[in-house]
């Protein structure tokens, strides 16, 4: 197929590497891409958030499938315009993308669909936010209602900090104040064609900046997959996935279909396993949030384990034929990714600095590098954002995968760079 991938991050690089690794010789182009993506496939400099520009390009180039990576083009309605012109696109329309674009919309859908989630209150003023904080108590959870690039959530025991966070995002719109849920977090992806829903393999993301889950929230500092500890509470990982499919993913997709806003694309369920009971279940699976696209950095560890063709899944979802495919299969290998971030990320990242040592890092057995924020400047590769690279390693067990990832990181040089040293430590033998 001739495939256009929209986006410029490590998630899009991971998608492209998965597509390019198939037996079929796809003709892949990325817009706008980054230095790592440009080394793998041609890139085109167009605005991925402009529905008309993207659609005109897809028509002119006879694109057969458009894959939308980030959330902004979805909320901007890029998928809607493409579909109106008959171009298969993997990604929900603007209305369904509100599942990520508006926390209030997502809460309403969950309530109507009977999906377990934490209690929440929407606040449009600081006084309303104060009242909600006092109602739910500490630890306080405050979320921007709209998109915030993974940085709109604050969890704190400091009421003044919670109010300050609310004040900041109230300037842009409303906020949600939620009850605090304690437990292990799980990220689980589902592919949907608007009716049929197919699960992928679960992963765990690390949102906090520093080791031991300290520091501010980020877009994600690392991830690993699969999650062997799920069998401690459930009969197996498959049993967990099946339960989430039946109690969360399918009800949400059905509700959106009933509202004439079919969800076509990747439904990301951010879950927490609490000790609280829901509907008689002692497992307490609750939804923290939904995203309307592949998660970053979880995509970097889920797709390398995928044995089925990613292109088949994406095209079937885009064309409403997902029910005709076999269930996707995954290799038993352990996958770990560690994010290399710029100095002063996430507050005000230092950018424009040279990066060296990638050839040596790539040469480590089982390792590849997914570029997130890189560009070529003359003969130099330089950083252009906060999260710069995802170092991805596969291994026969997490001990081997972690050793490979951190060995590769040891070869990479970027002044002031930071990364966590405890990614997947709990599952290493």
67 against 282, higher pLDDT: 67
Name the one residue in this structure whose structure tokens are 């050793």: 403
Nearest alpha-carbon partner for 200 in 213, 210, 214, 186: 186
98 burial type by CB count under 10 A (0-12 exposed, 13-18 middle, 19+ buried) = buried
Q: What b/e readout covers 385-407, taking b as 16+ CB neighbours within 10 angstroms?
A: bbbbbbbbbbbeebebbbbbbbb
Q: What is the pLDDT of residue 171?
A: 85
Distance CA 96, CA 78 (A): 12
Token duo for residue 366: 């089982």
Strands (E), 61-106: 65-68, 89-90
Q: What percent of the chain has pLDDT over 70?
A: 97
Task: Tell me what pLDDT residue 280 has.
Answer: 43
Write out the H or E segment, with its range, that includes residue 268.
strand 264-273
Question: Residue 203: what pLDDT?
Answer: 98
374 three-class SS: strand
360-370 average pLDDT score: 98
Q: CA 202: distance to chain centroid?
A: 12
User: For residue 359, what pLDDT is reported?
Assistant: 97
Quickly list DSSP for 122-190: EESSHHHHHHHHHHH-SSEEEEESS--TT--EEEES-HHHHHHHHHHHHTTS-EEEE----SEEEEEEE
- Report residue 278's pLDDT band, with 50, 70 and 90 as the boundaries: very low
Alpha carbon separation from 270 to 83, 213, 246 (Å, rounded): 28, 17, 15
Which of 288, 290, 289 is CA-nearest to residue 181? 288
pLDDT, tens only, 392-421: 999 999 999 999 999 999 999 999 999 999
Read off the tokens for 317: 């979802």
Check if the beta carbon of residue 296 is closer than 8 Å to that of residue 219.
yes
Per DSSP, the three-state class of 94 is coil
Which tokens in the block code for residue 421? 């040293």
Q: Is the pLDDT of residue 279 over 80?
A: no
For residue 187, pLDDT beyond 60? yes
Confidence of residue 208 (pLDDT cuts 50, 70, 90): very high
Cα-based distances in Å from 174 to 96, 159, 165, 270, 354? 19, 18, 12, 21, 39
- Three-state secondary structure call for residue 395: strand
The answer, yes or no, to whether residue 302 has pLDDT greater than 80, is: yes
Kindly state the tokens that stand for 293: 């696209």
- Give the per-residue pLDDT at 151: 63
> Residue 149: what pLDDT?
60
pLDDT in tens, 312-332: 999 999 999 999 999 999 999
Looking at residue 5, what is its pLDDT? 98
pLDDT in tens, 30-70: 999 999 999 999 999 999 999 999 999 999 999 999 999 99
Q: Among all chains, which residue has been given the structure tokens 């198939």? A: 22
């Amino acid at each position: 197929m001739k495939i256009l991938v929209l986006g410029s991050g490590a998630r899009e690089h991971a998608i492209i590497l998965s597509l390019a690794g198939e037996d079929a010789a796809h003709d892949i182009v990325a817009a706008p891409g980054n230095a790592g993506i440009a080394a793998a496939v041609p890139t085109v400099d167009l605005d991925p958030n402009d529905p008309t520009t993207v659609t005109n390009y897809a028509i002119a180039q006879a694109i057969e499938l458009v894959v939308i990576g980030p959330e902004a083009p979805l909320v901007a309605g890029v998928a809607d315009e493409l579909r109106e012109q008959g171009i298969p696109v993997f990604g929900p329309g603007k209305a369904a993308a509100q599942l990520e674009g508006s926390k209030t919309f997502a809460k309403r859908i969950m309530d109507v669909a009977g999906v377990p989630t934490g209690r929440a209150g929407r606040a449009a003023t600081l006084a309303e936010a104060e009242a909600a904080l006092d109602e739910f108590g500490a630890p306080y959870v405050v979320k921007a209602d709209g998109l915030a690039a993974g940085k709109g959530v604050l969890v704190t025991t400091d009421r003044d900090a919670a109010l300050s966070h609310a004040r900041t995002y109230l300037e842009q719109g409303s906020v949600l104040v939620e009850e605090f849920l304690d437990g292990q977090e799980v990220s689980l992806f589902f592919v949907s064609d608007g009716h049929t829903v197919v699960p992928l393999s679960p992963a765990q993301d690390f949102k906090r900046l520093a080791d031991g889950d300290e520091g501010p929230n980020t877009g994600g500092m690392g991830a690993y997959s699969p999650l062997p500890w799920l069998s401690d509470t459930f009969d197996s990982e498959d049993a967990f996935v099946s339960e989430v499919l039946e109690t969360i993913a399918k009800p949400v997709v059905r509700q959106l279909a009933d509202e004439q806003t079919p969800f076509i694309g990747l439904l990301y369920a951010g879950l927490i396993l609490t000790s609280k009971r829901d509907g008689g279940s002692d497992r307490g699976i609750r939804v923290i949030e939904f995203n309307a696209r592949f998660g970053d950095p979880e995509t970097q560890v889920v797709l390398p384990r995928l044995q089925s063709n990613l292109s088949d899944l994406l095209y079937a979802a885009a064309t409403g034929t997902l029910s005709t495919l076999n269930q996707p299969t995954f290799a038993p290998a352990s996958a770990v990714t560690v994010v290399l971030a710029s100095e002063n990320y996430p507050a005000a990242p230092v950018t424009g600095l040279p990066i060296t040592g990638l050839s040596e890092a790539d040469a480590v057995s089982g390792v590849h590098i997914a570029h997130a924020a890189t560009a070529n400047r003359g003969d130099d590769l330089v950083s252009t954002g906060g999260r710069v690279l995802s170092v991805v390693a596969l291994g026969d067990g997490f001990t081997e995968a972690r050793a490979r990832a951190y060995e590769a990181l040891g070869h990479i040089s970027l002044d002031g760079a930071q990364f966590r040293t405890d990614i997947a430590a709990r599952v290493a033998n």
